[in-house]
Structure 1
């Protein structure tokens, strides 16, 4: 599978397009009409993660959901473009190419960190950022450099990425992995993750992103974040524990924290209605 081979049965493939920006060929799904809403997925996922929500949000927004560099069906980027700064710059260029000016940016997990970085760097100037189980603080601060170095070594090994990506990924291990996030993932989403995990390029890009991820500068500047910040936190999240959302709420002036019970790290895939309503409410508040 190349960066351009989109399966015909990929969720809502009719909304997919390929766009050249920042030296990359991007896969992006665009739907609806109205104010621009940018959706940024987390590490190891793709724009498929937003499809259940996007089907609801397209009634009120032009919804833009790209695959991050190398992940999903976007071209693999060099290491420097897989850093937080590099991805932010590249996504800014993609928005220019699409003539998009998002009024709200929603990011899941690492996508929330990219959303905040886009604003702090001045690449985009939305009215609000919505963080869904956002990973904006370094995990295990002391151990982070060790994990980064390990990811660098693994991402540089084509043999390793080919070994961990199997073209026919068994369903049960993927279901187990997703359950370990605290989520009860719908069948359509499980199918997509199986497809992605069978793609060595996607696996390599995920490792490359992890190898170049440094949240220290973002953490130091979060109190300068200008857009309204809404933190949506799932109580069953075992990847980004709810305490991180509580810490962010304390540290970012004027931020709003909303929690929901019974959902895990992929809560927006489990209960798209609730998250779509929260984004709609955030947008309505901008006009009040």
Structure 2
């Protein structure tokens, strides 16, 4: 239904559709021709995050970008945002739609989903790309305090409404992204400002954070043999380069490329550079 879709001026809206696959109603965007490439955004974002990179990828791939559970325009039940469940539900969606991703690219928390899909073995991509992957739980007091706070917030049905009503300023979004080492133009900032005005999106983001746990995945990294490329912005203030260094060193067929002068949203800040690294990785050139 049109009412379930993003507004007409949303990035990629012309190829948006809603795909029911229990227990979700997924918002997906599919464009291009070639081997399937599955794109998984990070917590708090949506498929719009890939818009610039898709312009580089869809000449060589059929690109499938989706909104993660509870994010953007994907409608999801509460309690279905654990890492293993998210990956399993995405695999079910791919099977239902006949998608066979040859390449899976994940940003931040989407990078963890990318690796979890490989760990579960229900999809069989030939290449994995993890962009500024969030593969480490919070340390110190934040390690126990933040998940508890997120869980409490997620359980309160008024939280999303209160947060979304109180956070409308593009300037506020700029401040948040600047702390992650990222600078976007006004258009890029406006997309995030519009997202966090959506109560359902805020609720979905909080639910994911409240249920997020990476211990099992990190223990399994040495067993993931699929060739993997880690791309990480040197200036990332949200996830240290050290996290990517550790993960890449742990996996048997992984390598790391660090992008100087780039922050947490590498694929939005420098889409051509990220696309070039992906192309060299996939083609072996």
The normalised TM-score by structure 2 is: 0.95
Residue in structure 1 matched with residue 151 of structure 2 by the alignment: 152
Q: Distance in 1 between matches of 2:167 and 2:111?
A: 31
**Mean Cα displacement is larger for which, 256-265 or 173-182?**
173-182
Question: What secondary structure does 1:29 align onto?
Answer: strand
Q: Quote the Cα distance in structure 2 between the aligned partners of 1:141 and 1:54.
A: 37
Structure 1 position 256 matched with structure 2 position 251:
no
Query: Is contact 1:3-1:75 (8 Å) kept?
Result: no
Answer whether contact 2:226 2:253 (CA < 8 A) is retained: no
SS of residue matched to 1:175 = helix
Q: CA deviation at 1:77?
A: 2.7
Residues 241, 13 of structure 1: CA spacing in aligned structure 2 closer, same or farther, 3 A cutoff?
Answer: same
8 Å CA contact 1:27–1:74 kept in 2: the answer is: yes
Q: Which runs of 5+ in 1 are unaligned?
A: none
Report if aligned partners of 1:235, 1:262 keep a CA contact under 8 Å in 2: yes
State yes or no: 1:32 paired with 2:32.
yes
Q: CA deviation at 1:254?
A: 2.6
So what's the TM-score if we normalise by structure 1? 0.94
Distance in 2 (alpha carbons) for counterparts of 1:17 and 1:140: 39
Contact persistence 2:5–2:16 (CA under 8 A): no
Q: How many residues align?
A: 284
Q: Is the partner of 1:68 in helix, strand or coil? A: coil
CA contact (8 A) 1:76 1:201 kept: no
Name the counterpart of 1:65.
Answer: 65
Secondary structure, aligned partner of 1:103? strand
Helix, strand or coil at the partner of 1:221: helix
Residues 3 and 70 of structure 1 are in contact (CA less than 8 Å); yes or no, is this contact kept in structure 2?
no
8 A Cα contact 1:3 1:74, kept in partner: no
Cα distance between partner residues in 1 of 2:250 and 2:75? 36
Map Cα deviations across residues 28-62 of structure 1 (whole Å, 9 max, x no partner).
11000100001100000000000000011100000
Q: Helix, strand or coil for the counterpart of 2:160?
A: helix
Is the 8 Å Cα contact of residues 186 and 270 (structure 1) preserved in structure 2? no
Gaps spanning 5+ residues in structure 2: where?
none
Q: Deviations over 1:82-128 (max 9, x none)?
A: 00011001101111122111111110001010011011111211111
1:141 shift after superposition: 6.9
Q: Where do 1:1-288 residues align within 5 Å?
A: 4-79=4-79, 81-140=80-139, 143-166=142-165, 169-285=168-284
Q: Distance in 2 between matches of 1:231 and 1:247?
A: 11
Root-mean-square deviation over aligned CA pairs: 1.7
- Is contact 2:107–2:132 with CA below 8 Å preserved after alignment? yes
The structure 1 segments of at least 4 consecutive aligned residues displaced by more than 6 Å after TM superposition are none
- CA–CA distance in structure 1, aligned partners of residues 12 and 137 of structure 2: 34
Q: Which moved more, 1:160-169 or 1:136-145?
A: 136-145
